[in-house]
Structure 1
Amino acid sequence: MLTAATYSIAMRSYGTQSTVDTHNYSQLVLPLAGELSMDIAGRGAILDRTVAAYVEAGSRHDQVSDVANRALILDLQPRDLDARAADRLASRPYMSMTPEATNLIDYMGASLNKGRVLPHKLQLWVPLLVDALLGDEPQTPSRLASLLTAMESDLSKNWTVDIMAERVGVSASRLHAIFQESLGKSPRAWLMDLRLQQVCRLLTNTELSIAELAYRSGYADQSALTRAMRKATGLTPAAYRRQTRVRD
């Protein structure tokens, strides 16, 4: 279930000085470049683009490197992983990276560099990553996360409920139930919110015409976007753009 999570992610590099640590949350150490030597509760390994690490909450660990390196460090609170996944990760703290995991890590590293790692993006990304690291077939939460990621990356597509349900592999009625249980919204309401969020970002950060950003965000035309914006914010797209520019 995609409940509200408390993920925290950062990009870090390590040097020749040992950094011993322990904490009450778990971590995934996901190399992006170079390599580092890591010890977790007395078990050592070299991490590079082929090996990732899971540090169980409360485990003493340290890491050193004498070469240039970069890694994503993902902090996970106890409620962020189901018990089965947490147990499986703890049983093998060093994991071979699957191609799927490598692609996901590269994607999030690029997003972090661009300042685009928003909470909802982590909520979509983490279930997919855990499945990829464990070599599992995507479960329903991850399949839902995959759908949400696809919707976010192609909002101009005609995302009907039937198309969404087929993507997840469930019936339309079951998809409604999953969305309500996991996200507190219907599939259509989630999509409408996602489209409006993109419109607001584009209005604030680009000079695209309103007709163009309406098309990119999945609205039939500028009039449809104007009606949706006025209902949600009380402002037309042009007025919203003027207001955000004045604030800047």
Structure 2
Amino acid sequence: MNGICVELRSYADQVNLHRHDYHQIVLPCRGALDLEVEHRNGQVSQGVGVFIAAGETHAFSARGKNRFIVADLPVEDAFVPTGMADTFVGTPFFTIGADTQGLIDFLEARLAREDLTTEAISAWNGLFISSLSHRRDGRIHTALSFMRAHSSRSIGIAEIASACGVSPSRLHALFKQTLGESPHAALSRLRLDQARQLLAATDLSIAEIAARTGHTDQSALTRRMRLSDGITPGQYRRNARLAVTARGSA
């Protein structure tokens, strides 16, 4: 895409599964939108928005009267800094503060009356991204990036904390405050997300995928996926391929 697309949208009571090569932000105006973003469930409603990073699979549905601001943003740093976008991978839902809500109210009123110029939309986007970036701790981004880069081997919380320049106890507090989970839980979730992506997109054996994503063996990955998703890795792969076939024939 060549630029930012911002518009008011309403959704039907149905589930649509898809992904796209640009970032998308969905902000509430009226009603609620249920979403699943790479197996993370949540709801966009009063006080909560979602940042869907480029390439992430997501499904959504809404009930009753609803209206949302939807911003489609190119992946270039000029629109959303890469480092900031990365912090939303795995943690897409965010709390809307008073400053951010003011920007939402302004844009909803303007979009309801008229088409905005490219300059006005770009100015709004800059203010909005700035309001979001103030709510994302750079040390969390560093920790998550370190986890992704080293997920195939055994890494401890002390090593992750050292990469961020904080103590293990401070790292734990940052994760709890920002993401609502411990660093260990985030690492386990990240490894499982990577396994899902490899199952869906490659023909690697399940044992190889387990090794590449830091699981001790195939059985460990199977146990983790059963606990999280209620299915085995083999079933997940079959379901993912069926979903791709269904989208292709739709």
TM-score normalised according to structure 2 size: 0.50
- In the alignment, is residue 28 of structure 1 matched against residue 25 of structure 2? yes
- In the alignment, is residue 42 of structure 1 matched against residue 39 of structure 2? yes
Note the C-alpha offset of 1:116. 3.8
d(CA) in 1 for partners of 2:28, 2:34? 11
Which residue matches 2:65?
68
Structure 1 SS opposite 2:89: helix
d(CA) in 2 for partners of 1:84, 1:51? 21
TM-score normalised according to structure 1 size: 0.51
Is the 2:38–2:90 contact (alpha carbons within 8 Å) kept by the matching residues of 1? no
Which residue matches 1:127?
126
Structure 1 SS opposite 2:16: coil
Give me the identity figure in percent.
Answer: 24
d(CA) in 2 for partners of 1:67, 1:127? 32
Q: Which amino acid aligns with 1:83?
A: T
Which residue matches 1:6?
3
Correspondence list, 1:37-116, <5 A: 37-79=34-76, 80-116=79-115
Note the C-alpha offset of 1:36. 1.3
d(CA) in 1 for partners of 2:86, 2:104? 22
Q: Which amino acid aligns with 1:110?
A: A
Is the 1:17–1:64 contact (alpha carbons within 8 Å) kept by the matching residues of 2? yes
Structure 2 SS opposite 1:78: coil
d(CA) in 1 for partners of 2:131, 2:44? 17
Note the C-alpha offset of 1:9. 0.9
Note the C-alpha offset of 1:131. 2.0
Note the C-alpha offset of 1:136. 5.0
Correspondence list, 1:145-160, <5 A: none
Q: Which runs of 5+ in 1 are unaligned?
A: 138-248
Structure 1 residues 89, 128: closer, same or farther in 2, change over 3 A? farther
d(CA) in 2 for partners of 1:25, 1:89? 14
Deviations 1:151-187 (A, max 9, x none): xxxxxxxxxxxxxxxxxxxxxxxxxxxxxxxxxxxxx
Is the 1:31–1:70 contact (alpha carbons within 8 Å) kept by the matching residues of 2? yes
Deviations 1:207-226 (A, max 9, x none): xxxxxxxxxxxxxxxxxxxx
Structure 2 SS opposite 1:16: coil
Is the 2:37–2:58 contact (alpha carbons within 8 Å) kept by the matching residues of 1? yes
Which residue matches 1:183?
none
What is the RMSD computed on CA atoms of the aligned residues? 1.7
Correspondence list, 1:80-229, <5 A: 80-136=79-135
d(CA) in 1 for partners of 2:101, 2:80? 20
Q: Which amino acid aligns with 1:8?
A: C
Note the C-alpha offset of 1:85. 1.7
Note the C-alpha offset of 1:75. 0.4
Is the 1:29–1:52 contact (alpha carbons within 8 Å) kept by the matching residues of 2? yes
